[in-house]
Structure formats: C-alpha cells, structure tokens
Amino acid sequence: MKRWYQILGFAVSVLIFAWVVSKAFGDIDIVEFLGKIHGPALLLNIGVGMLVFFATGLLMKTVFAHHFKVNLSWADTWFLPTMMHLWSYILPVKGGMIFQVVFMRAKYQVNLSKGFSVGVLIFAVSLFVTCLLGSLLAFQVPDAFSLQLILLAMGLMLIVPVVAIKLFPKWEPKETSPFYQLLKFGANVVSQLRTQTADRALLLKTLLVTIVAAVLHAYWFYNSALLLGYDPDPYGIALATLVLRIILLFRFLPGNLGIQEVITGAIFTAAGLGLQEGLMTAVFIRLASAGLAVAFGLPALYFNLRYFEANSIRGIWNKLKKQNSTEA
C-alpha cells in the first residue's frame, strides 16, 4: 500500500509539472525561443548553478571541519549536494537531508545525531539570513506586503530552536522503546546545537558562507531570467529567491515537482514580477539543477556504493527508507 502512495505522489507531481510547463510555454514557439539562447550565456548560467551546489557543500564542510574535526574532501564538498538533490526526488520527505546524514555516517563515521544537527544549524542560519537580508530588500520592492508577512512568520520560526536549546533538558532515557529512543535522538541533536550555537567562530563562519550561498542563488535566478529574455528587477528577484530558499526546503512530493514551480510563480508575483516570468524561470532552474544532479550526482552515487555496503542504488534506497521511518 505504501508503494502505491509513492507511485500516486509521483504521478501527481508529474501532472502538476506538466500543467505548469503548458501554462508557461503554451503561447511560445519553443524552437524560436531556444534559438535565442546563446551557448556562452547558457554555459555561464550552468557554471553559476555549479557554484550554488558547491556553496551548499562548503557550508557542510565548514561546520563539520570546525565543530567535529571531520574533513569533508573537496570532491564530496561538490558531489554531496548533487547526490542530496538527486535523492530529494526518490525520498520526497527530507530525502536530501536523510541522505546527507546516512552518507556522513557511512563514509566519515559521523554519529547520526551530529549529522542531523548540522542540517538543523544550517537551516536556522539560513532562516536568519533570509529574515535579515529579506527585511532590508523588502523596503526596496513596492507592494511587497505579503512577502513581509512571510518574513515575519519566518522570524517567529527562529524562536523554536532558541526555545529548544534553552529549555530542552539533558536527558538520557533508560527505556529502549522506539518512542524513548526517538526522544534520546532529539536530546542528542539539541545538545549538539547547544554546543554549536555557543561557538561564535563557528556561527560567524556559517553566517558568512550562508550569505555567499544566498547571493549566488539569487544571481542564478536573476541570470536565468535574463537568459530567458526577461529584464527582472534585481531587488525583487533577490527578495523572491531568499524567501524561496526557505519555503522550498519543505518537500511533500518527489522533488516538489510542479509544486515548486507554482510556489515560485506566486512568490515572483508577490515580489512585483510576472507570473509567467516566475513559472518559466522555475522550470528552467528545475531542468538545470536536475541535469547537474544527474550528470554529477549519479556517477558519484555509484562511486560511493561501497561505503553503504550496498551493491545498487536500490540497496541505498532501502537504507534511507529505514532511516526516514526511524526519524519521522
């Protein structure tokens, strides 16, 4: 039955994505449109996309090296984010993050709670950067009240990790039931976060790399819109991208296929940009990021099979599904 739910979810995603593509490109001559995209400009765009993936890996490398003294190789700094993106299509709920946790345990012997805490820390810092930079940009974008409300809600979300770090007790349950083991896992994650947030040097490094990653991400969206023939407002597209960086972390369908494009179109509209502009840019980013994930992430996945003690991607999938059900 669970397998049928997964197939149904993927089918729904494909249908939504097909509707988005028809909505975005319905009145456009595709051949004429593609003929206007020049090779050097496309290569530049792909290069920026590669830098966006690398910046994500650099974030993880920074935290693991500074706090856990685990040196993520430069190859994994680039390839791990592409593998994570690939797994977001296979395991829709937290697929990328779960893969990162299991990968770090399999290859670098990093405790699961430590790996998970790194993801939570990066999310919290990204949320802070979005609220900070987004609040400044919101004053430069006219009629962005709806996005200001979203930023306010995001700011309130920052209270959750702060309260958890301050109030969650240091607890070591003696019971061995799955429920108490889950509580123990949560306590370990909060304990790691408590130590990480007390390290000002770590927070500063993470903050600086996150800002660089956010700027690269915004420029990728801006460059993609230019490549498609639009002339977007730089402030508007930067604000939209910052908000999208957080919203699109919540995935319920494989790769958020279709949903991501609809949300991007809505956020672009709220930022004073066109709906079709948002849809087309989102579809282009989708194809480019998926292409990079397949081109680099898939070979890297096969190269790292031995660390998972698996003979195929299906073997890794079974391990990740088991991990996902344990931490859900």
pLDDT of residue 27: 56
Q: Say whether pLDDT at 108 is over 60.
A: yes
The residue whose two tokens read 């530049």 is 44
pLDDT of residue 22: 63
Query: What's the rounded Cα separation, in Å, for the pair 200 and 21?
Result: 45
Query: What's the rounded Cα separation, in Å, for the pair 257 and 103?
Result: 24
Question: Within 13 Å and on the Cβ side, how many CA atoms surround 189?
Answer: 19
Query: What's the rounded Cα separation, in Å, for the pair 10 and 296?
Result: 23
Query: What's the rounded Cα separation, in Å, for the pair 222 and 160?
Result: 32
Of 1-10, 75-84, 91-100, minimum mean pLDDT range = 1-10
Short-list 120, 183, 154, CA closest to 244: 154
Query: What's the rounded Cα separation, in Å, for the pair 184 and 321?
Result: 20
Q: Say whether pLDDT at 327 is over 50.
A: no
pLDDT of residue 246: 80
For residues 223 and 45, is the Cβ–Cβ distance under 8 A? yes
Tokens read off for 9? 């979810």
Q: In this structure, what DSSP letter does residue 253 have?
A: S
Of 26-40, 54-68, 108-122, minimum mean pLDDT range = 26-40
Position 32: which residue type? E
Q: pLDDT digits over 143-155, tens only?
A: 777 777 888 887 7
Of 28-37, 103-112, 220-229, 297-306, minimum mean pLDDT range = 28-37
The residue whose two tokens read 């949320």 is 127
For residues 192 and 117, is the Cβ–Cβ distance under 8 A? yes
Q: How many CB atoms lie within 10 A of CB 242?
A: 29
More confident residue, 295 or 308: 295
Report the length, in residues, of the chain: 328
The overall average pLDDT reported for the chain is 78
Query: What's the rounded Cα separation, in Å, for the pair 111 and 61?
Result: 16
Q: Say whether pLDDT at 163 is over 60.
A: yes
Q: pLDDT digits over 248-305, tens only?
A: 666 666 666 666 777 777 887 777 777 778 878 888 888 888 889 889 988 998 888 8
**Residue 324 confidence class, pLDDT cut points 50, 70, 90:** very low
Q: What percent of the chain has pLDDT over 70?
A: 71
pLDDT of residue 307: 79
pLDDT of residue 23: 57
pTM: predicted TM-score of the whole model, two decimal places: 0.80
More confident residue, 204 or 138: 204
Handedness of CA 186, 245, 266, 11 (dihedral sign): negative
**Residue 54 confidence class, pLDDT cut points 50, 70, 90:** very high
Short-list 293, 263, 312, CA closest to 87: 293
**Residue 76 confidence class, pLDDT cut points 50, 70, 90:** very high
For residues 198 and 161, is the Cβ–Cβ distance under 8 A? no
Query: What's the rounded Cα separation, in Å, for the pair 319 and 321?
Result: 6
Query: What's the rounded Cα separation, in Å, for the pair 96 and 102?
Result: 10
Q: pLDDT digits over 171-220, tens only?
A: 565 666 666 666 777 777 777 778 888 888 988 999 999 999 999 999 99
**Residue 326 confidence class, pLDDT cut points 50, 70, 90:** very low
